[in-house]
Amino acid sequence: MITNLQTPIDYLKGVGPNRADLLRKELGIHTYQDLLNLFPNRYLDRTRYYKINELQRNSSEVQIIGKITSVKEVAQKRGKRLVAKFQDDTGSMELVWFRSQKWIRDNLKPNRPYVIFGKINWFNGAFSMPHPEMELLEEHKKSLRSAMQPIYPSTEKLNNKGITNRVINTIMQQLFIESKGRFIETLSKPLLSELKLPSKSEALLNIHFPKNQDLLARAQYRLKFEELFYIQLQLILKNLIHKSKIKGFPFNSVGTYFNTFFKTHLPFELTNAQKRVLKEIRADLGSNAQMNRLLQGDVGSGKTIVAFMSMLMALDNGFQACLMAPTEILSVQHYNGLSELCKNLNISIKILTGSSNTSERKEIHESLENGSLQILIGTHALLEDKVKFKNLGLAIIDEQHRFGVEQRSKLWKKNTTPPHILVMTATPIPRTLAMSVYGDLDISIIDELPPGRQAIKTVHRYDKNRLKVFGFIRDEIDKGRQVYIVYPLIQESEKMDYKDLMDGYESIARDFPAPKYQISIVHGKMKPADKDYEMQRFVNGETQIMVATTVIEVGVNVPNASVMVIESAERFGLSQLHQLRGRVGRGAEQSYCILMTGHKLSNDSKIRLETMTKTSDGFEIAEVDLRLRGPGDIMGTQQSGVLNLRIANIVKDKDILQAARYHAKKILNADPTLTHENNQPILYTYKQMSKYKNIWNYIS
């Protein structure tokens, strides 16, 4: 009989209601299963017993076998300390206690062999060990506690209430005694033998009570693999169910719009990556299932033209298309770019944003419902209930991480049959993260830049080089180029940011005096109309320098701007630095990004700046960012819950993640419903997870 792991933790011998309450509040342990999944975060290697004459003065933790030969109390400035002489066959040392002396003195057993464990101090020419852990040798030999001692996650409150690491260790032993160390297998036999994995019971025993490093490593691999395997299984299943249940409009033909544009009006030759991605989208759109695809591509890699050509496929099949962007500036930019392309093809296209007036809105609503409006571009305004399409066939969402899941699903509901969805992002998502967070979407990547684009030269300069930098800016302006100078924005200290920006603006105005130089300034405190006016002046070339906070991070396209100066660059995250750099390098001229910093730099700041000067590959940058910041920060709070992993780490365990995804795919391809006899353990575990969300709360 295998113990029911859903049993409340209160019932485990040695826990009781008070301890149970603390374990629930502090560590989220409600059941036996939760306790079993409390994995140690490090281990003390107790495989070795030292002799007293081998001790070094390095304050490490050691264990020694010996006997107590005498005990005395020693007066000190405040109170007393208890000192015992401890010796083995090579020498002697002192054991010292500063508190609980009476209880300790009453319980010490002189002249019997003890195993002591603790930190070594060297004082007045002799070794001592304060407050050692002690166990009689005969007890030590009997206990289940392993040679590698686990150290469990804990909190200050637990320690203060006497629930120490030792107590957790003891109740963990109790759980293994009650369950006889037998646990239900969660992976299939073929998978276990193909990957040479230990059984679930072996892995759990060796994660909590490892006898040596090798057994521990095998147990960790097995449990990390299992955790990532079930996340992948769930995401891939979601995708398969989505494809089988949610029918999409089949776009059967590629017709006049697409072909005319491709043959006659395409402004440049498509890259191989763009062609590959278009093929993937084309296959989805013709497949009878709803497309649910994520399109990743670095700044300037040509995602918009791919999006437009996908829209043409919708139009060729008699459907409407829409594109939703997170900000008005970005929507307007998309609208201007796409209107230009629509002109030659006689396609009706409109834009809807928060600032569209009533008569424009009325006209848009009518033409959408009667089908005469073919493409609609806009912001969140597209989600309003009044916006009804006659037959929306394709919805494109730009910079998807800025929209919540609810907002996306509102777009779906615009039709009885949901439209095909293409999600675009210029924020490269590391492969490992994409597999874990967007694993239910099909992913396309545009991984090459259009020909003729020159790499942006990126340099790091200290504040003391400012005059040289200003000289360089003057030379570029003399050549007819424009310059961005960006200041950091840190919400907590808006006043300080504003001051930084204004101080910067004043010093730039002194070095670049009017009327020879004109400067635009843009920041978050301005009214939208003023902001747009200033931006427009820069776009039209009426000003040569744009001084701004990070409001220009997404979406301003000025091909003539060739220099990006980022002030206090050490205060920016990597992805933000990369996005800002992408504002230049949009024309045929050589562009530059100058990272200005003070002299005092943290280690992380140095890594960020070195990464920026070394590479312009967004995916490489995203991988470094993931290492520095961790998955939760990169995804933001919305999605970080997906990755509350118990034991795996998607940065360090990249290889295990790839193996887990490969095997999950392989199993589901062969047996999509998991009904094959071999897969019974997997199906059972998957169902249990869906039933008890709290156990495997890392399943999104």
pLDDT of 637 higher than 50: no
Per the DSSP assignment, residues forming a β-bridge with 92 are: 87
CATH 3.40.50.300-classified regions of the chain: 256-285+302-425, 457-615
pLDDT of 430 higher than 80: no
pLDDT of 112 higher than 90: yes
Asked if residues 236 and 68 have their Cβ atoms less than 8 Å apart, the reply is no
Looking at domain 47-145, its CATH superfamily turns out to be Nucleic acid-binding proteins (2.40.50.140)
pLDDT of 693 higher than 70: no
User: Considering only 29-43, 160-174, 321-335, 412-426, which range has the smallest mean pLDDT?
Assistant: 412-426
Q: What are the φ and ψ backbone dihedral angles of 30, each rounded to 5 degrees?
A: -105, -35
Average the pLDDT over 127-134 and give the result.
Answer: 92
pLDDT of 329 higher than 70: yes
Digit-coded pLDDT (tens) for 574-596: 888 998 898 888 877 899 999 99
What is the second-level CATH architecture of the domain 256-285+302-425? Answer: 3-Layer(aba) Sandwich (3.40)
Question: What pLDDT is attached to residue 551?
Answer: 63
The chain-wide mean pLDDT, for the chain, equals 86
Alpha-carbon distance of 528 to 393, in angstroms, equals 33
Sequence length of the chain is 700
Average the pLDDT over 316-343 and give the result.
Answer: 90
Q: What are the φ and ψ backbone dihedral angles of 315, each rounded to 5 degrees?
A: -65, -40
| DSSP collapsed to 3 states, 545-592 | EEEECHHHCCCCCCCCEEEEEECCHHHCCHHHHHHHHCCCCCCCCCCE
pLDDT of 344 higher than 80: yes
Alpha-carbon distance of 286 to 164, in angstroms, equals 61
Find the helix or strand (DSSP H, E) in which 221 lies: helix 213-245
Residue 410: burial class (beta carbons within 10 Å; 0-12, 13-18, 19+):
middle
Alpha-carbon distance of 671 to 6, in angstroms, equals 29
Any idea which fold 457-615 has? Rossmann fold (3.40.50)
pLDDT of 312 higher than 50: yes
pLDDT bracket for residue 113 (50, 70, 90): very high
Find the helix or strand (DSSP H, E) in which 91 lies: strand 91-97
Alpha-carbon distance of 111 to 131, in angstroms, equals 19
Runs of H (alpha helix) within 424-573? 431-437, 466-478, 494-511, 528-539
Question: What pLDDT is attached to residue 636?
Answer: 46
Alpha-carbon distance of 94 to 369, in angstroms, equals 89
pLDDT of 350 higher than 50: yes
Average the pLDDT over 202-218 and give the result.
Answer: 90
Digit-coded pLDDT (tens) for 367-417: 999 999 999 999 888 988 899 999 999 999 987 555 555 666 677 777 777
Task: Choose between 614 and 102: higher pLDDT.
Answer: 614
Task: Choose between 44 and 424: higher pLDDT.
Answer: 424
Of residues 289, 237, 246, the one with CA closest to residue 665: 237
Question: What pLDDT is attached to residue 525?
Answer: 77
pLDDT of 132 higher than 90: yes
Digit-coded pLDDT (tens) for 143-192: 765 567 899 999 999 988 889 998 999 999 999 999 999 999 999 999 99
pLDDT of 565 higher than 90: yes
Residue given tokens 């030659």 in the structure block: 344
Task: Choose between 346 and 405: higher pLDDT.
Answer: 346
User: Which of 130-134, 621-625, 694-698 is the most confident on average?
Assistant: 130-134
The greatest distance separating any two alpha carbons of the chain, rounded to the nearest whole angstrom, comes to 101
pLDDT bracket for residue 297 (50, 70, 90): confident
Start-to-end CA span in the chain (Å): 32
Q: What are the φ and ψ backbone dihedral angles of 15, each rounded to 5 degrees?
A: -100, -70
CATH 2.40.50.140-classified regions of the chain: 47-145
Q: What is the DSSP string of 120-141?
A: -EEETTEEEEES-EEEEHHHHH
Average the pLDDT over 273-299 and give the result.
Answer: 91
